[in-house]
A and B are shown apart, each in its own frame.
Chain A
Amino acid sequence: MSREVLGNFELMVLLALIRLGDGAYGVPICQTIEESTGREVLVGSVYAALERLEAKHFVTSMVGEPTPERGGRAKRYFHITRGGLQQVREMRSALTRLWRDIPALEGATR
């Protein structure tokens, strides 16, 4: 496993990028995370996570087209890199191994 460790929120952002494919920019990324968690997402936090992921080379970005409903501002599309995908796979394996050793939680109160 590589030395970079993903935080919970960073993992969620990467999973949202995988789900959205080529259409991943700020708004759908936030909506995807909101739908799966049922909580409102702070757009500033999503961009902070994306900046961290870019610095770790797990994500790349490119400027898209400006639209009127965005006040003429361009979208920025994000793509997960091969290193990012590898990181997600390693994270899933690690979490799966951890869950496997835990007894069933159904009905547990402590």
Chain B
Amino acid sequence: MNSSQPPNLATKLLEWVVSGPHGDALAGDLAEQFQQGRSAIWYWRQVLSAVIVCMARDRTLGSQALTGSGLVLLLVAGSVLRHPASLGVGLFAGDIAILLGYGVFAVWAWRQRRAESRAALMAGGRAGVLIGCVLITSHLVESFVPAAYQTVQFVRGAGSVLLMLGLLGIAGSAAWERTRSARLAAIAGLWSGTVGMLMLVNFVLTLDFAFEAHATSVLNGAFLQSGMNDPGAFLVRNSLESILEIVTRLPIAATVLSFIGSLWNAWIKKQPRSIAALAAYVLPFMFLGGVLALWHIQSLPRVERPPFVIAGLLSACLALCAAHPIWSALSGNRSEPLIRQPGA
């Protein structure tokens, strides 16, 4: 019989990470076996494996996103250390602050225990993985397909943006369907953007780190105009600027589009099926109109573009955000929410 207490730090870690219905029982089982003579090494091994199993099984993707945030911070720090000339203090601090914000959001998502919050986060997480895959594919095409293939690059650029916007709408619509809460739908959208962005940023920074020569050759023209001396430093600074831009913009787009997706779903579920069928006919034209407006701006002088950009994006986004609600209404998917509203 082991009279001493199990390692305190390991126990704290276990209690913090492994929660849920069986967390307490698992901690008790380990303590009981430790008292029966198991070693501290055995205890630590069991705790660490339980933590890994728990994190890997987190279907909200909170723990995975937290790990992803940590990796991104390490990659940013490693890149800057490798090329100190890339360091612009404001840029670096801005990136770190926003990435830390992503990490805090990931911790919040991971610690959610309410069923409806987790359902919304799971819907957002799934959409986020798809968004990450779309953005990574787009980045690969941009990096490895020569810029001379203009059609490919246009399809890549427009296709990936529109797919991403559509997926953000899906995240909000799917989350609303499970929770009947527009607030949770917006959070699901924000979460999908966070997951997708962390996937992309991890991938891009790793790729730049591993294949720096190729990445600098792609940016050679811009580097020559930059006045910098170190192409590696230029690459890192370029990445930091891109990260700052995208990690700032995407959460806003994600919140708005997922909210629109949830509103569409809430509205269309109250309409007769014929309205959903009519919307299914009309919306492709609305989407096409938006895309044509965006296409048209290429032939316009810069000052005349804003109304077409706004109209094109609005039209295409509204149509994309309605795709999931319409599909859901037409397929008869009127799933019950996890939590019934009072009086419902």
Q: Which residues of A contact B (CB under 8 A)?
A: 25-27, 30, 42-45, 47-48, 50-51, 61, 63, 66-67, 69-71, 73-76
Neighbouring A residues of B57 by C-beta, 8 Å: 48, 51
B7 within 8 A of A: no
3 closest A-B pairs by CB: A44-B50, A73-B28, A26-B29
Chain B residue with the shortest CB-CB distance to A29: B29
Note all chain B residues with C-beta closer than 8 A to A44: 18, 26, 46, 49-54
Of B18, B29, B36, the residue contacting A25 (CB under 8 A) is: B29
Contact of B22 among A51, A66, A70 (CB under 8 A): A51
Which residues of the other chain, A, contact B6 by a CB distance below 8 angstroms?
Answer: 71
Which chain A residue shows the least CB distance to B24?
A: A73
Q: Tell whether B27 is near chain A: CB-to-CB under 8 Å.
A: yes
**Candidate in B11, B22, B35 with the most chain A CB atoms within 10 angstroms:** B22
Q: In the complex, A74→B53 CA distance in Å? A: 22
Contact of A69 with B50 at beta-carbon distance under 8 Å, contacts A44-B26, A51-B22, A74-B25 already known? no
A50 surroundings in chain B (CB, below 8 A):
22
How many angstroms between the C-alpha atoms of A55 and B20 in the bound complex? 14
Q: Shortest distance in angstroms between B172's beta carbon and chain A's nearest beta carbon?
A: 26
Contacts A42-B49, A69-B35 given; does A47 touch B22 at CB 8 Å: yes
| Inter-chain contact B50/A26, CB cutoff 8 Å | no
* Bound: A61/B57 CA distance, A: 20
Could you tell me if B53 and A48 are in contact, using CB atoms closer than 8 angstroms? yes
CB pairs A–B below 8 angstroms (23 shown): A25-B25, A25-B29, A26-B29, A43-B26, A43-B30, A43-B46, A44-B51, A44-B52, A45-B53, A47-B25, A47-B53, A48-B53, A51-B21, A51-B57, A66-B28, A69-B35, A69-B36, A70-B29, A70-B31, A73-B31, A74-B28, A75-B28, A76-B24
For B281-325 the 0/1 string (1 means CB < 8 A from A) is 000000000000000000000000000000000000000000000
B32 within 8 A of A: yes
Contact of A27 among B11, B32, B53 (CB under 8 A): B32
Contact with A along B25-67 (1 / 0, CB 8 A): 1111111110110000000001001111110010000000000
User: In the complex, A89 Cα to B30 Cα: how many Å?
Assistant: 32
Chain B residues in 8 Å Cβ range of A43: 26, 29-30, 33, 46, 50
**Separation of A102 and B136 alpha carbons in the complex (Å):** 47
Closest B residue to A28 by beta carbon equals B29
Contact yes or no, A27 B50, CB < 8 A: no
Report yes or no: A47 in contact with B50, Cβ–Cβ below 8 A: yes
Flag if B49 contacts A26 (CB, 8 Å). Answer: no
Cβ-defined contact, B49 with A75, below 8 A: no
| Residue with the highest number of chain B CB atoms closer than 10 Å, among A44, A47, A75 | A44
